[in-house]
A and B are shown apart, each in its own frame.
Chain A
Amino acid sequence: MNKINQKDDKKQKNIGFSLYKSLKSFGSSLPVLIGVVLLLGLFHVNVSPQLISSIFRGVFVKDVLLGSVIGSISAGTPITSYIIGAELLKGGVSLFAVTAFIVAWVTVGIIQFPAEAAILGKRFALKRNLISFILSIFVSLATVTLLMAVR
């Protein structure tokens, strides 16, 4: 056993081998990554910012929850979430809901979930996304409450 470890250690000292190993490890994750990118393409074309805005109704608790849910389902660069968030604010949606939406957008990933589960384990991915979802509500409440107190 020790001999094998030593052999591995020697091999690891070679930078080329290290790069090859990382490439191999990455390659095994490639099918899931490509799957996620293909899903993102579908999302980009079929879900418009207007569609997202049209869902909020103005009921506080419901809107905050909705913010988290929609943020969790949505994916893409966070800039998109800022732009949609600003539009929602202009449309009269509360800052609590918008904050929950922005936070969930980056911390909860339903579209990326298959990739996360396949690579890092189903249990880990499930726990992480669930806790992140709940935390997005708390982060929104804490942020906006403190902001109002400061102002």
Chain B
Amino acid sequence: MKNKIKKEKEKRRWNSLYFLGIVIIIYLFLFCLNFENASNSLRASTNILFKLLPVLFLVVFLMGLLNYFLKPKAISKYLGKGSGFRGWILAVLAGIISHGPIYVWYPLLKDLRKQGMRQGLAAVFLYNRAIKIPLLPVLVYYFGIAFTVILLAFTVIASIIEGKIIEMLEC
């Protein structure tokens, strides 16, 4: 069993390295074909990365704190199989509050999943990242308050539908 997990981990590690390798190869090709475009893209990427750094630190710090304060038992109580209604609400709120781009939260969710978090709740969390409180004024500015309120309500409903479907498909 342990060997199997180790093998799976090794496989994932290589998969992620392959992915990075392919992206680097695309860049190398682009550098040969259109140097300016490639260097602009690289500059845009560096900009994104610098903007990301504070969020990355926050995520690592939060992961550490969660590791420290929340034992797997607590996680399965609040976010695990028997978490019930409270678990769904918690996942919705955590998704809304969380900052930064979606992909920086994957490692944290992976950690929580390993410790017993329900799959559906991970999906609910990710879906509710669509609602970003600091961005709401912008949404209201462009589309009006009625549109914003209705859209947000349906986003929360859709997130729970998605979580439920994912859990149904799991069985």
Contacts and interface: CB of A to CB of B under 8 A. Distances in A.
Contact of B68 (A18, A35, A135, A150): A18
Grouping DSSP codes into helix (H, G, I), strand (E, B) and loop, the A interface class, with mixed when no group exceeds half, is helix
B67 A18 contact: yes
B132 A78 contact: yes
Contact of A135 (B12, B26, B103, B158): B158
A8 B68 CA distance: 11
A51 interface: no
Interface of B: 12-13, 15-17, 19-20, 22-24, 26-27, 30, 37, 40-49, 52, 56, 59-61, 63-68, 71, 101-104, 106-107, 109-111, 113, 119, 122-123, 126-127, 129-130, 132, 135, 138-139, 142-143, 146-147, 150-151, 154-155, 158, 161-162, 165-166, 169
A21 to B, nearest CB: 6
Contacts, number: 191
Contact of B17 (A31, A138, A143): A31
What range describes how many residues of A lie at the interface?
35 or more
Nearest to A13: B68
B135 A19 contact: no
